[in-house]
Amino acid sequence: MTVLVLGGAGYVGSHAVDILLSRGYEVAVVDNLVTGHREAVPAGVRFYEVDVRDKDALSKVFEQEKNIEGLMHFCAYSLVGESMEKPAMYFDNNVGGCISILEVMQEFDVKHIVFSSTAATFGIPESSPISEKTPQKPINPYGESKLIMEQMMKWQSEATDMTYVALRYFNVAGAKGDGSIGEAHKNETHLIPIILQTALGKRDFITIYGDDYKTADGTCVRDYIDMEDLIDAHIKALEYLKAGGKSDQFNLGSSKGYSNLEVLETARKVTGKEIPSKMGERRPGDPDELVADSTKAGEILGWHVQNGLEHIIENAWKWHSSHPDGY
């Protein structure tokens, strides 16, 4: 039986492929290589360069991969700022891709899908930490596109015998422990990679976006989840569905928040570098604090966070310092 990893050449997907293989799963990968990297997928893995919106091409993959036990779906655009500038592109790629995937799953009678959703579906939450009961009110097209995808999955699972798990990631960071795969975006916007690029001297300084938030030190607070922990949740979710578990949604974070200044200090400690920084203006659309309540994932999936912020930054540093220009 095969796990078909959609978006398996991307940052999260490539780590899923790696950990699935290390746990003895058979894996095949679909990726259009728009943001993914062919080098991130091991040479022996069956690889299809296909855009999931291309239903005919995706059907051909399902024809060839006869024994698909489930899908992991990671292919989506995922930058909040970009989504504010190009909403239609986000809905076309994220929602359009999901339509095609659900249709092909139904056609080929594939029963299970684990899919990446996001804390961005919650918008600016009324309370913290954020549980599955917190109302979802996205404030940008990226979050809205993922919420629509969740709803499409819900209706599809009610209408057919397909089951799904939506995993709402908080701030994913980290890399494989040997530094061989990691985060490589063309225009990096995320805090930890930018801090580490500064540590490498690729940037002169990091700008911290605002220190007048309603938090202890005035900088935004986020909940960082380690890549290995994140993929472990996907595998537990797939096994849960295979064992007959019902469709569900889970918030995935460490349930502990770190301010941007705390992340910077931790990176200084881990790298031993000075990492020059400047305080800047707020970035539009940043909520003060986003921290997950992941109790439900613990209760139902048996998932518990193993790794903390230092471990996350240590592994990310191994990747960035050995691949300063990405793949």
Residue (11 or 48) nearer to ligand UFG, CB: 11
Residue from 118, 249, 251, 315 touching ligand UFG (CB under 6 A): that is: 118
Q: To the nearest whole angstrom, how small is the minimum distance from the Cβ of residue 61 to ligand UFG?
A: 27
**Catalytic residue list contains 142:** yes
CB-based burial label for 39 (10 Å; 0-12, 13-18, 19+): middle
The yes or no reply on residue 283 touching ligand UFG (CB under 6 A) is yes
Of the residues 128, 131, 207, 215, which one makes contact with ligand UFG according to CB under 6 A = 207
Q: Binding of ligand UFG at residue 215 (CB under 6 A)?
A: no
Q: Which region, judged by CB under 6 A, interacts with ligand UFG, from 107-115, 187-195, 304-312, 315-323? A: 187-195
Name residue 252's beta-bridge partners.
169
Residues 14-53 that bind ligand UFG (CB under 6 A): none
| CA gap 207, 7 in Å, rounded | 31
Count of residues engaged in binding ligand UFG, rule: CB under 6 A: 21
Q: Does 184 contact ligand UFG by CB under 6 A?
A: no
Q: How far is the CB of 218 from ligand UFG (least distance, A)?
A: 11
Residue closer to ligand UFG (CB basis): 140 or 157: 140
SS3 state of residue 289: strand
Should residue 209 be labelled a site residue for ligand UFG when binding is judged by CB under 6 A?
yes
Q: Give the nearer residue to ligand UFG in terms of CB position, either 29 or 191.
A: 191
Q: What's the token pair of residue 288?
A: 């003060």
- Rule CB under 6 A: which of 124-183 touch ligand UFG? 170-171
Closer CB to ligand UFG, residue 238 or residue 264?
Answer: 264
At 20, give phi and psi (nearest 5°).
Answer: -60, -45
> Toward ligand UFG, which CB reaches closer, 35 or 163?
35
What would the 3-class secondary structure string for 107-124 be? HHCCCEEEEEEEHHHHCC
- Peptide bond connecting 129 to the previous residue in cis, omega within 30 degrees of 0: yes
Is position 119 an interface residue for ligand UFG (rule: CB under 6 A)?
yes
Place of tokens 């997928």: 41
How many residues are present in the chain? Answer: 327
Query: In 128-226, where does DSSP find H-type helix?
Result: 141-159, 191-199
Given the residues 25, 48, 90, 142, the one annotated as active site: 142
∠ CA(242), CA(247), CA(253), 5° rounding?
A: 95
CA distances (Å), origin 275, targets 196, 199, 289, 310: 8, 5, 24, 16
β-pair partners for 221: 259, 289
Residues at the site binding ligand UFG, with contacts judged by CB under 6 A: 78, 80, 118-120, 170-171, 189-191, 194, 206-209, 220, 222, 260, 283, 286, 290
Active site residues: 142
